[in-house]
């Protein structure tokens, strides 16, 4: 399953940041690691999502089974934040968990 949004054709710049992300993910995989997590921070509109999506597309061939992307828990002003339990439900569903078997609580979903 792949839920990656389309990559932008206009992505430009951010080479140091992109190189850091790509290098550390590839390094973790080469060293036998199972995960590399990066937080991308910045003001609204500076291209955080574009950077993350572009990096994910550049790495997609290394993870042929799946790529799952969820939107931000803290959206732009005026938008309602995604509740953690709802975000976990969406991730679990994207991973193939039948909605009938999702725990009702945040803790239960986190454990699953």
30, 24 in Cβ contact below 8 A? Answer: no
Q: Helix (H, G, I), strand (E, B), or coil: what is residue 76?
A: coil
Of 66, 105, 67, 101, residue with least CA distance to 86? 105
pLDDT in tens, 21-52: 888 887 776 666 666 677 888 888 888 888 88
Task: Give me the residue spans of the domains in the chain.
Answer: 1-66, 70-112
pLDDT in tens, 54-90: 888 888 877 766 665 555 555 667 777 778 898 888 8
């Amino acid at each position: 399953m792949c839920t990656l949004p389309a990559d932008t054709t206009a992505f430009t710049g951010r080479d140091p940041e992109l190189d850091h992300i790509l290098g550390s993910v590839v390094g973790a995989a080469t060293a036998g690691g199972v995960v590399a997590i990066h937080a991308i921070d910045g003001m609204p509109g500076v291209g955080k999502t574009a950077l993350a999506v572009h990096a994910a597309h550049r790495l997609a061939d290394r993870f042929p089974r799946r790529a799952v992307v969820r939107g931000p828990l803290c959206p732009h002003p005026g938008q309602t934040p995604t509740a953690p339990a709802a975000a976990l439900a969406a991730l679990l569903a994207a991973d193939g968990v039948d909605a009938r078997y999702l725990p009702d609580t945040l803790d239960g979903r986190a454990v699953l």
